[in-house]
Structure 1
Amino acid sequence: MRPDLARIRRRLRTACTRAGVPADDRGRLVLAVTLLAEPALTAGENVDVAMAASDRRLAVTVRLDHPVSQGSRNALPLLPERGDGDTLTWHLTGGRPTATADLDDDRATREEMLALVARADTLANEQRDLKHELAETNSGVLAMYVELEQRDEQLRRAHAAIFRELEDALRPRPPLVPGLELAVHYSPTDQDSPTGGDLYDWFVLPDGQVHVTLVDAVGHGVTSTRHALTTTHAIRTLALEGHPFPDLIAHASHTLAAIEPGLMATVLLARIDPSTGRTRFAHGGHPEPVLVTAGEPARLLPATEPGRGVGFPDPGSRELVEVVLAPGDTVLLYTDGLVESRKDIDEGQARLLALAAAHRTWPTADLPRELVTRMHDVVQHADDTVVLAVRRSPTAARSSATG
């Protein structure tokens, strides 16, 4: 992200926070200004952003070097005032000001995304209630029902557009870690609704170890997305606070019980030391990871007592599974959509092991997508699917010795 754009986003968030603008409106404003400013800054044009607050109202004005048509304005996630010139203005209603601490971009985006997901969930519930009311009326309201269906289609497309813009926040890019190669592929059930309960998170801890979280929340649509985001965020927070790795699933479940009493999710955690290859897994009712080595058949890494996920009775991992990755070894983490496409999980896991072994030399960046493509050659049961690949670099041992 260009420094100028980062500064603009930070100024917008600070002004919105001081004015008490709700997080969902703040997120749509930041996204709208980003969509306008980023291509202009990339092209070397000027972007002037002015803000003025008074009486719990915030006015934001953006001036560009070129005019913006009304059609382009209408495509923004937060509509500005009508016009066709080079100046766009938004007026937002604020409330009680909140803390003005400078949020980092990742944290602010997560907060805005959760607010947008909650807003979408509310709109979906209102839409469903309205459908029920119309269903109880007589045939004389057919024209109103047709209009409602059109609005529903518009709403669905709007949600899809918003979530595509936020896909980087929903599905973070792999961290750059010397000695490790990481890659991911996500395949949604519905290509027009790239949300669901299958989410992941990965980051580097202060001691240099890599933490990976893979979550499959029970349910569908924006509610399951919110539950999965809440779970990954809770585990990230607890991990960065230094809570013991074996306790993270149980601790997250107990923490979220009062906040999201209906939340249920299977969880798989991994903790990898890039310098030694030592890798530990904590199972929370999730499909077993796959280990692919150089001269041996690919194999599952099950726990004798796999444990239960967040929101389930007696949550947490009963035991840790530990392996040491040699240079060139790969572990695959995935959600059940990968192995249940033919409605037989045992058959699916057997096919996955065979494919993983046959593709052991494929580039890490291409491996997850290739496995999903081949595993989904026949789909009798469609489900969201996430595949993560973690490979210890073949040069890891030499690099470590040199260092």
Structure 2
Amino acid sequence: MTPHTFHDLSALRRAVRRICAAHRLPSRTGGRLVLSVAQAAGPVLRAGGPVRLEAAEESAPGGTTLLAVTLRAGAASAPLSTADLPLPGRATADGVTWHLPLGEPQDPPPAAPAPLPAMRTGEPSQGRPREAATAEVYEAEIAALEGDLGAALSRVDTLTTELHALKDELAETNSGVLALYVQLEERDEQLRRAHGQILRELEDALRPSPITVSGLEFAVHYEPADTDAPTGGDFYDWLHLPDGTVHITIVDALGHGVRSTRSALNVTHAVRTLALEGHPLESIVARTHDILVPFDPEIMATVLLARIHPETGRLRLANGSHPPALLLRADGTSDYLETRGRGIGFPLPGSESVLEETLHEGDLLVLYTDGLTESRRDPIEGEARLVKSARAHAERPVDEIPGAVAEDMHTVILHSDDTLALAVRRPPRDAPGAKARADG
């Protein structure tokens, strides 16, 4: 903008408004600029002196563009008033300059301008022309409007300051909440780890330790349906009987969680007691029912009992409604060892007979609960997959077999249940480590 000289405050205001409109300044910024220019130039113009106004765009560091608006007083004029301007500027020797950033969010297009307030004409003062009196009244009206606008802008400044303070307070509060949330997450993780450690220790305490028997290898894998429970209703027990045979009990108590755990523990303890007392294998399921049901009428559990002679490999099985054991022979053939019977808490409980088989060197016996084969709700399909998986892992170290089989069987789980897989292998006498085990 070419510098212009002004002797009239109204013309100066209009020029500043044109600059604001031409550069599309936000209305709040434009209003402050008009007020500031009028306030700075007012004393000079009222004293009869001129002022000069110019505007130009300038580049600033960072690629931003500034609008520089400069107001100067004439050489013989009184100095400009730069104190307490609504829009502070940079004072110079002969004027003041405002630097305003361009490219800020714009106001919506303005509505049609409202007409200026009607000027009160009144009677002119004695000895003064009517035009001068009218101009004076007009200036008074404008001054009043500018005063109202200044008050409004001051209120806006106050509200803006309060808003920033509230935002800072909210940010501080959010930061505190976030820190508390992180702290709670850390505490929760610590509690989860401690809880998991307690559950693992409880599970280890409830389940029998591995036994070492010359001529036989044992391994077991257990996985509860509820990872938050210490154990479920699937239990096992193994012990060396006085006659030299190894007794194995597999129990699947109805339900999940602590109640089923209690039922399974009661069954395994009762079976262990009867086995150590020398009761015949074929009678133990029924006698366990008779012992427990009077104390727990709602108990229901399936049971599979196995007796293995380490030297001869003689295998005897009794069953109470439990899935059959899988025998995988060293020659590659396999059989499910079926024997009929009904479980504890069932009508007519007991094993109808005892199945006898021989576990030859290199044979693998897999005992399990239905959670292993019925994860896809089809026990027939599950039994076929179990044979395939057992064959695939039969040559691995026995400690790895139950877990590897369970992983194969649970690639898809449509029915979540406690899972137990127990492997017994009679290794060949010439297998690595077999002699050491026999000597031990």
Which TM bucket (shorter chain)?
0.5 to 0.7
One-letter code aligned to 1:354: K
Matching of residues 2-401 of structure 1 within 5 Å: 161-303=197-339, 306-395=340-429
Alpha-carbon distance between aligned partners in 1 of 2:284 and 2:244, rounded to the nearest angstrom? 18
Call closer, same or farther: CA 1:402–1:378 in 2, change over 3 Å.
closer
Contact 1:195 1:222 in 2 (8 A): yes
Q: Post-superposition shift, 1:166?
A: 2.0
Structure 1 range deviating more: 359-368 or 391-400: 391-400
One-letter code aligned to 1:313: P
Alpha-carbon distance between aligned partners in 1 of 2:194 and 2:303, rounded to the nearest angstrom? 30
Structure 1 range deviating more: 242-251 or 159-168: 159-168
Q: Post-superposition shift, 1:190?
A: 2.1
Q: Post-superposition shift, 1:175?
A: 0.5
Report the structure number with the largest CA radius of gyration. Answer: 2
Contact 2:313 2:359 in 1 (8 A): yes
One-letter code aligned to 1:336: D
Call closer, same or farther: CA 1:260–1:402 in 2, change over 3 Å.
closer
Alpha-carbon distance between aligned partners in 1 of 2:238 and 2:353, rounded to the nearest angstrom? 21
Contact 1:290 1:298 in 2 (8 A): yes
Structure 1 range deviating more: 164-173 or 153-162: 153-162
Structure 1 range deviating more: 186-195 or 269-278: 186-195
What fraction of aligned residue pairs are identical, expressed as a percent? 57
Alpha-carbon distance between aligned partners in 1 of 2:300 and 2:265, rounded to the nearest angstrom? 12
Structure 1 range deviating more: 367-376 or 390-399: 390-399
Alpha-carbon distance between aligned partners in 2 of 1:401 and 1:223, rounded to the nearest angstrom? 41
Q: Deviations over 1:317-355 (max 9, x none)?
A: 001111111111110000000001111111000110111
Call closer, same or farther: CA 1:310–1:362 in 2, change over 3 Å.
same
Contact 1:201 1:213 in 2 (8 A): yes
SS of structure 2 residue aligned to 1:247: helix
SS of structure 1 residue aligned to 2:302: strand
Question: TM-score when scaled to structure 1?
Answer: 0.58
Alpha-carbon distance between aligned partners in 2 of 1:259 and 1:316, rounded to the nearest angstrom? 18
One-letter code aligned to 2:206: L
Contact 1:293 1:360 in 2 (8 A): no
Q: Post-superposition shift, 1:298?
A: 2.2
Count of residue pairs brought into register by the alignment: 249
Alpha-carbon distance between aligned partners in 1 of 2:197 and 2:296, rounded to the nearest angstrom? 27
One-letter code aligned to 1:246: E
Q: Post-superposition shift, 1:208?
A: 1.2
Gaps of 5+ in 2: 1-188
Which residue of structure 2 lines up, in the alignment, with residue 64 of structure 1?
none
Backbone CA RMSD of aligned residues? 2.6
SS of structure 2 residue aligned to 1:366: helix
Q: Deviations over 1:166-194 (max 9, x none)?
A: 22232222210000000000011122223
Contact 1:188 1:196 in 2 (8 A): yes
Q: Post-superposition shift, 1:158?
A: 8.0
Which residue of structure 1 lines up, in the alignment, with residue 109 of structure 2?
none
Contact 2:229 2:258 in 1 (8 A): no
Alpha-carbon distance between aligned partners in 1 of 2:375 and 2:321, rounded to the nearest angstrom? 19
Question: TM-score when scaled to structure 2?
Answer: 0.53
Contact 2:202 2:230 in 1 (8 A): no
RCO comparison, higher one (Cα < 8 Å, 6+):
1
Call closer, same or farther: CA 1:215–1:155 in 2, change over 3 Å.
farther
Q: Deviations over 1:76-108 (max 9, x none)?
A: xxxxxxxxxxxxxxxxxxxxxxxxxxxxxxxxx
Q: Post-superposition shift, 1:195?
A: 1.3
